[in-house]
A and B are shown apart, each in its own frame.
Chain A
Amino acid sequence: MAATTEEDEQGRAEERTGADERAGEPAPKPAPRQRGRGRIATAVSVFGELLITAGVILGLFVAYSLWWTNVIADREAKKQGNRVRDHWEAKGPGPIDTKDGIGFLHVPSMSGGEILVTKGTNPKTLNHGVAGYYTDPIKSALPEDDKGNFTLAAHRDGHGAKFHKIDKIDEGDPIVFESRDKWYVYKVYKTLPETSKYNVRVLDPIPKESGAKKADRYITLTTCTPVFTSNYRYVVWGKLERIEKVDNRRTPPRELS
């Protein structure tokens, strides 16, 4: 930094000399060697300023990724979530409607409140601060289906970071999915802290890697790991324990109170 300032001053000094010459005042002619050094100094100072600029832009990008995208995504998720709840109120009980969000995920061990669940896992969907259920490469089952695997993905960092604390989920912890008229209470039975991003078998209707043997109603959460990167995937599996009907006051099941 100090070097840059010094060079900057040299550059300015040179320019003042130039102005004097234009004004027609007899200025002492600087030696050519010095003039050359001034030009190099200017180039070095511009280069230094570009480096500083690059550093500031990278810093801003970090702020953007880890803070600003959360602000935007949380706002969007809240808007969409309110719309879903308004529709529920207007329509009354019924099967899951896949047009809007299909419901809310509550994971007490991750805290952070409810997570809206919508269809699809493409980046544009997930950037709205929601969890998406897979349609590709292996189609997810819905919680109301008799058998199958309800598979979800959400961001670990930025864009709402809804699965940021996925590593806080232990075996035996509850995962509750709230639909229009039912609470689906799942119990985590297996976590996989690191797997390849190509490991699509974790989404199988019977996820064998978790030790599951027979068809049942499973839930699978996936996100990236380690934090701030996408080198591997973190997977959490749960199995449906029971279903509770939603009452008039939407009293949550005891796992959430």
Chain B
Amino acid sequence: MYGWIWRHLPGNAWVKALLSLLLVLAVVYVLFQYVFPWAEPLLPFNDVTVDGQ
């Protein structure tokens, strides 16, 4: 999977490394900005109130 991505990135090893880094940063950004905030309320770690339900 990662090998496939590496082979399909253009340029020499340095360009590939730089592009990989950018890809990783983009993935982390999407996770922190969209995926985790969406997933968090679905997980039972953060309920702090007492309620009747």
Chain A interfacial positions (CB closer than 8 Å to B): 8, 11-12, 45-46, 49-50, 57, 60-61, 64-65, 68, 121, 123, 126, 134, 136-137, 153-159, 163, 195, 197-200, 202-203, 222-224, 228-230, 233
B40 touches A121 (CB 8 A): no
B13 contacts partner chain A, Cβ-Cβ < 8 Å = no
Chain B interfacial positions (CB closer than 8 Å to A): 1-3, 28, 31-32, 36, 39-41, 44-52
A49-B31 contact, Cβ under 8 Å, with A198-B50, A224-B48: no
B39 touches A222 (CB 8 A): no
**Which residue of chain B has the shortest Cβ distance to A8 in the bound complex?**
B3
A203-B28 contact, Cβ under 8 Å, with A12-B3, A50-B1: no
Return the contact of B50 from the options A45, A57, A123, A222 (Cβ within 8 A): A222
Write 17 A-B pairs (CB below 8 A) sorted by A numbering. A45-B1, A57-B31, A60-B31, A61-B36, A65-B46, A153-B50, A155-B48, A157-B45, A157-B46, A197-B47, A197-B51, A198-B52, A202-B50, A224-B46, A224-B48, A230-B44, A230-B48
4 extra interface residue pairs, beta carbon distance < 8 Å, beyond A45-B1, A61-B39, A198-B51 = A8-B3, A57-B31, A68-B32, A153-B50
CA distance A68 to B2 in the complex (A): 27
A65 touches B50 (CB 8 A): no
A136-B48 contact, Cβ under 8 Å, with A11-B3, A61-B39, A68-B32: no
Nearest CB of chain B from residue A211's CB, rounded to whole Å? 18
Nearest CB of chain B from residue A32's CB, rounded to whole Å? 24
CA distance A233 to B46 in the complex (A): 11
A203-B44 contact, Cβ under 8 Å, with A64-B31, A64-B36: no
CA distance A199 to B50 in the complex (A): 6
**Which residue of chain B has the shortest Cβ distance to A233 in the bound complex?**
B50
Return the contact of B52 from the options A50, A57, A137, A158 (Cβ within 8 A): A137
Residues of chain A within 8 A of B46, CB atoms compared = 65, 123, 155, 157-159, 224, 230
A60-B47 contact, Cβ under 8 Å, with A11-B3, A12-B3, A198-B52: no
B48 touches A126 (CB 8 A): yes
